[in-house]
A and B are shown apart, each in its own frame.
Chain A
Amino acid sequence: MSTDITPDTEQSSEPSEPSKDGPLLSVENLSVQYQLGRGMTGRAKTLTAVRDVSFSIETGRTLGLVGESGSGKSSIGRAILRLAPVSGGRIVFDGQDTATFGKRTPLSFNRDVQVVFQDPMSSLNPRQTIATTIGQAITRHRPLSGLERDREIEQALDRVGLSGYHADRYPHELSGGQRQRVAIARALAPRPRLIVCDEPVSALDVSTQSQVINLLMELQRELSVSYLFIAHDLEVVRHISDDIGVLYLGQMVEAGPADQVYRTPAHSYTQRLLASTLVANPARQAARTAERRALGADA
């Protein structure tokens, strides 16, 4: 397993010890339950968002998770990021069970695991300039002088295709695609090894969407970063992912290499999802529509 995830590792303040063989992230029988407060009878009500889900991601690879809203795909991402409660199972990152962290997440984990959310408007602080947003992501993990920090910010922006003058802008002054680039730059700033991408392109226009997808894939080749790519669009997920997991009502109903899941879907839900995914080709779409109506008649 490689640790040279960044071009210059000598600057890393706390180099993580090279891990044992095994995947970068492995999720074993994960369940996520939310407390919904207490009902009138005093019994605690819970909502099980994720039930017994297992998967693993190798260094430099991408696992795509598809499913509808409410299928628990975002909850899995949030559980890995320690933003959602884990009620069962284990999340092992780089050989270390994250349950052993206790209440305080170690800084090294915060450095290694980052996130890009769906809506870049609400994931960027509206009252901070881009430079502030990226600057604090850098300096939290690598204390730098003001000059060095400014240089790093410029590099970070350059890497995601933005110019230096964007640094002084506020999020609302940027387009949706540019905002998402800033969010990606922020996620990359601590030099992570895994990025959870929670519907990163769903809010974008098709041309902007392809720009961001290309950027993510380019960065993966360059930095060997791993992605957990969460989306509802099977075509997008298939394009970017090495493996795909299909979630339905909190459970993983199908998983496998991207091509296999896409070409020969085994589970009926995956088939329905595939048939419902629209393609921009009228002839092929007509065939899909027919297939979808046939499946719909069965359901």
Chain B
Amino acid sequence: MTDQPREGTLQSTAVLTEQTDPAGIEPGDGAAAEAAAGPRAKARTLRRMLRQPVTLFCLAMLLLQVVLALGAPLIAPYDPAAPNVANKLQGPSGDHWLGTDDLGRDTLSRIIYGTRTALLASTESVAIGLVLGVGLGLFVGYRGGWWDRIGMRIADVMQSIPALLLALALVAVLGSGLGNAMLAVGLIFAVSFMRITRAVVLAEREKLYVDAARVLGLRSSGIMLRQVLPNVSPPLIVQASIALGTALLIEATLSFLGVGIDATQVSWGAMLDASRQHVSEHPLLAILPGAAITLSVLAFNLLGDGLRDAGSPRSAPRAGSGKKAKLPIVSTPVPSPDDALLRVDGLTVTDRNGAQLISDVSFHIKRGETFGVVGESGCGKSITAAAILGLLPKGVTIAGGSIRLEDSELAGLSGEALRQVRGKRIGMVFQDPGSALSPVHTVGRQLTDAIRAHSGLSKAEAHDRAAELLTLVGVPNPQERLKDYPHQFSGGMAQRVVIAGALACDPELLIADEPTTALDVTIQAQVLDLLASLRERLQMSLLIITHDLGVVADSCDRVAVMYAGQIVEQRSVEDAFAEPKHPYTEALLAAVPHSETDGEPLATIPGRVPPAWAWPQGCRFNPRCPYATDDCRTGTVPADADGVRCLRVTELQLAGAR
């Protein structure tokens, strides 16, 4: 069904390849599916909410409470305050469903009227807290400086006063009454709301969208209320609903102590107090208001989490994630030499919905060779690396194929067997050195831990080995630097440390996933040089995963170009870049700006990589391919001896790198 609209866009995108009209740039095949997906935001929020049974239950509880509170005079069978001493302390009966108390008042009616008091008290205090706290928090957070310092000191003082004591004091000063007591509670709440608001505002204030709003000349008040406040709401919603529960508890406590309410009001706390003398004969008198309190507080607490999740646009389920891509697993074996260190054959990885993240990926890496995997994001490069290392995300599994390191099979390994390979025979370097190193331990500690995990070395020996490794990767002054924390290293030096860690146990294969993407140009070159020299000195093989064709040209011997979960071309870098055989390789090379593209528009690839559940039928590149014919849109495309998946491989004359 989704194929129909997509067919329509195929024709147009194929024609647009070299066109520069901005209106025609991104009519990707996702567009048709996107246009059909997703109603308006509010409806989506509602639908998300309906999928959470706990939230629904809490909402029902809240609704029931509101109905009971508002309609108490209509719903309650008796006047809650009317004594009837003749009927005192009765058990449940047809007249009094939940019995009567020591003055003969109907328990059910009193519980219903108690809801009114409880809701009024908690909403009053939370409303006061929200209005005051959020307002002040936005103000001090956005203004900063002295406003912030003074505001926070006052908050510190306020928070050292117990809410209950302040409530008692205010009641003493302003006179008794629930309103005064809850005013005190509201003031205390305001402080915690203010702290949360301020903290989030401080974080959000640094975001670029706030800068963009300022550059647009939006007013400060507008930025605070319309830009920042919505982003403060998730923690506030949780806090507010928990505060509702807390306020209810405080109200019950005050009533129990006989402070908050006057005699005419009915409260669950007061009911508990009254039941004390009769609790052994009539336990129901204590259990019923107790259950009302507990259930209400629980509902408030759970409601907060549910509302936060439902209100966030990010928690939307991925459109179409429910349907399975029905693609056959077709294995086309690519010949690999006997001396290959790593051999991946027909590797297919699926997610929990059965969508193939990578399909039939086959390649090999020889000893001492640098192999590159290149492609746009979303093409399965990192999934391939993760599959080799057994680091696939939860729910993602290897559905077929094999991964052999020399003669041991890695696919399906787990636990200790996997640990013996990962980190020992295969090392890994991640993209961002900042997040690959733990900020709370010294570099020395992290390196020695990595060394000792796979060797029987003593602490001292491991320390020496760590210093040796740092020397190896070109970190000056290694003995001293082992005592430093990661933040004391520059980006390039930190990446050297990560590489040192990956080398801890003399791996035979080093996998580097975008090893230089986060680094500056000159540092990137140094790190690539380091990897090349390490490969030579340590007789390693290197697998470099990158989106940068320049990195491949600089460092790799052979390259696999990946598109939409498949390898579409796999050859020596010189051949593949000089005379590409797959249109995708040609398109990638053409899109890179270079010295001959002065002023003229760059070549682009129309559209974008489709999501894994919507890989196109036939050749997966066909919707974006300028050379696609009808044959390309049906059937499967096998890989030839060069790993090229293109039906027109023999007839096309493609342009290489300039």
Contact = CB atoms under 8 A, between A and B. Distances in A.
What 10 pairs across the A-B complex have the smallest Cβ distances? A278-B550, A110-B217, A280-B549, A210-B602, A123-B208, A276-B525, A239-B593, A281-B657, A207-B605, A68-B520
B657 A280 contact: yes
A68 to B, nearest CB: 4
Given A125-B209, A210-B603, A277 B521 contact: yes
Given A177-B608, A218-B22, A163 B31 contact: yes
A117 B313 contact: no
B25 interface: yes
Interface stretch (A25-33, A50-58, A133-141): A133-141
A115 B208 CA distance: 10
Interface string B198-212: 000000000111011
Contacts of B524: 276, 278
Contact of B212 (A69, A186, A236, A292): A186
A18 interface: no
B41 interface: yes
Interface string A85-100: 0000000000000000
Interface in A273-295: 273, 275-283, 285, 288-289, 292-293
A205 to B, nearest CB: 4
A291 to B, nearest CB: 11
Given A168-B41, A282-B657, 10 more contacts: A110-B216, A115-B212, A137-B216, A206-B549, A207-B588, A213-B593, A277-B550, A278-B553, A279-B553, A280-B552
A117 B40 contact: no
Contact of B214 (A83, A111, A208): A83
Contact of A278 (B211, B230, B313, B554): B554
B498 to A, nearest CB: 18
A232 interface: yes
A153 interface: no
B51 interface: no
Contacts of A218: 20-22, 601
What does DSSP make chain B's interface, helix, strand, loop or mixed?
helix
Interface string B215-237: 11110001000110011000000
B594 interface: yes
A105 interface: yes
Interface string A193-206: 00000000000011
Contact of A119 (B208, B214, B376, B603): B208
Interface string B10-36: 000000000011111111000100110
Interface stretch (A4-12, A144-152, A154-162): A154-162
B274 interface: no
A195 B25 CA distance: 21
Contacts of B27: 163
11 contacts: A125-B227, A136-B218, A136-B226, A172-B314, A177-B608, A235-B592, A277-B521, A278-B550, A280-B549, A282-B553, A283-B578
B326 to A, nearest CB: 25
B597 to A, nearest CB: 6
Interface residues of B, number: 74
A262 B598 CA distance: 11
A278 B657 contact: no
Contacts of B23: 158-159, 161
Given A115-B211, A124-B209, A214 B521 contact: no
A234 B521 contact: yes
A160 B313 contact: no
Contacts of A247: none
Most buried by B among A172, A206, A234: A206
* Majority-rule SS of A interface residues: helix
B313 A127 contact: yes
A214 B602 contact: yes
Given A206-B547, A259-B598, A161 B26 contact: yes
B93 interface: no
Contacts of A245: none
Interface of B: 20-27, 31, 34-35, 38, 40-41, 207-209, 211-218, 222, 226-227, 230-231, 313-314, 316, 376-377, 491, 520-526, 529, 547-554, 573-574, 577-578, 587-589, 591-595, 597-598, 601-605, 608, 657-658
Contacts of A238: 593, 595
A69 B602 contact: no
Given A172-B313, A280-B594, A125 B231 contact: yes
B520 A272 contact: no
Contacts, number: 220
Interface residues of A, number: 86
B216 A136 contact: yes
Nearest to B227: A125
A278 B525 contact: yes
Nearest to A136: B218
A128 B226 CA distance: 9
Contact of A205 (B208, B377, B578): B377
A175 interface: yes
A181 B25 CA distance: 11
Interface string A203-237: 00111111101110111000000000000111110
Contacts of A293: 529
Contact of B591 (A140, A175, A210, A262): A210
Contacts of A211: 25-26, 604
Contact of A177 (B21, B26, B522, B525): B26
A114 interface: yes
A215 B597 contact: no
A133 to B, nearest CB: 8
Contact of A282 (B26, B209, B574, B605): B574
Nearest to A115: B215
A129 B41 contact: yes
A279 B376 contact: no
Given A137-B216, A239-B597, A127 B376 contact: no
B649 to A, nearest CB: 21
A219 B21 CA distance: 10
A68 B522 contact: yes
Contacts of B208: 117, 119, 122-123
A209 B591 contact: yes
B551 A278 contact: yes
A276 B526 CA distance: 8
Nearest to B219: A140
A72 interface: no
A241 to B, nearest CB: 10
A107 B550 CA distance: 44
Nearest to A124: B209
Contacts of B588: 206-207
